[in-house]
Chains A and B, each alone.
Chain A
Amino acid sequence: MGIIFDSSEELNKVINDLVQELLKEEENKEKFREKGVVVKFQISDPDSSTLLDPREPELLSSKSDLEPDINLKMAADFMHDFWLGRTNIVESIASGHFTVEIGRDIAAAKLIDLLPILAGGLDIYPSICENHGIIN
């Protein structure tokens, strides 16, 4: 178990809030639809799994059978630092702290294409931490 989150439930709530906030704006939702990529955030210690389907961007599914096009895997403590802007994404991929799995028929550049949407999370995350009483 990492040190930032006490439980999977707490982590799920934080991720849920982050994604809901990220996709609250219709413009972002539309952008995500256009990217057309099913993304999974697979977090460990504690464990959490969130699947985002561009066809239904408001839906957060943790138990979907849908195969992600891009699976982003990281430990919860790393995720916390990532959204607080404390990590170098390229170096983190190289070091294995941020693992990316890409579907066979999916262009790897689709990962880069998702980043403009994900980057918005860095502006939102600190206030979500505050709301949940999580240190940042």
Chain B
Amino acid sequence: MVFYGSTEWLNLFQESLNSSKEFAKAAGNFSASMLVATEIKGLPKIMYVWLDLHKGKLRDWAYLATPKEKKTDFIFTSGYYTWKSICRGDMDVIKAVLTGKIKLTGNRLKLITQTRMSLALLEVMKQLPTTFPDDAFQRQ
């Protein structure tokens, strides 16, 4: 099992995504940089993970201290438990964006055409052997 959001998890996600024919097909020539922002109540800063999607591949990823460190087309902001639900496949990401559970910053029109790509990406994420911090540290 790998910890959600850790270097090991992101490397595995990258490797899995880049070997997914379904994702490559769904993404086609779509390229965009995305920032996944996770808010945890009580944590003094937001956790930012930057993803560089390029023509059906996840070309690069990085942890950012601030959102301005790298050029970003889209920012997805939500709380830890929402991301956990999405990663486990318990929540529909499109519905989460539409209902405001995930705040989206960026060109919505560009993204709205990429529903298949988003679903293929999440399908890969769902298959990862992920452990979540709140589960891993609570054993009793």
Contacts and interface: CB of A to CB of B under 8 A. Distances in A.
B137 A108 contact: no
A20 interface: no
A87 B137 contact: yes
A102 interface: yes
A12 B140 CA distance: 25
Interface stretch (A1-9, A21-29, A56-64, A114-122): A114-122
B49 A88 contact: no
A131 interface: no
Interface in A87-127: 87-91, 93-96, 98-102, 104-113, 115-116, 119, 122
A84 B137 CA distance: 9
Given A35-B7, A89-B137, A91-B134, A100 B43 contact: yes
Given A115-B3, A119-B136, 13 more contacts: A35-B7, A84-B140, A86-B138, A93-B41, A100-B43, A107-B64, A108-B44, A109-B48, A109-B63, A112-B4, A115-B6, A115-B133, A115-B137
Nearest to B4: A112
A85 B138 contact: yes
Interface in B36-55: 38, 40-49
A82 interface: yes
Nearest to A34: B7
Contact of A115 (B41, B136, B139): B136
Interface of B: 2-8, 38, 40-49, 63-65, 80-81, 133-134, 136-140
Nearest to A107: B63
Contacts of A84: 139-140
Nearest to A95: B42
A102 B65 CA distance: 10
Contacts of B4: 112
Interface of A: 34-35, 82, 84-91, 93-96, 98-102, 104-113, 115-116, 119, 122
A65 to B, nearest CB: 22
A94 B42 contact: yes
Contacts of B3: 112, 115-116, 119
A108 B65 contact: yes
Nearest to A102: B45
Contact of A89 (B47, B81, B138): B138
B19 to A, nearest CB: 23
Given A85-B138, A90-B40, A100-B44, A113 B5 contact: yes
A112 B93 CA distance: 22
B6 A88 contact: no
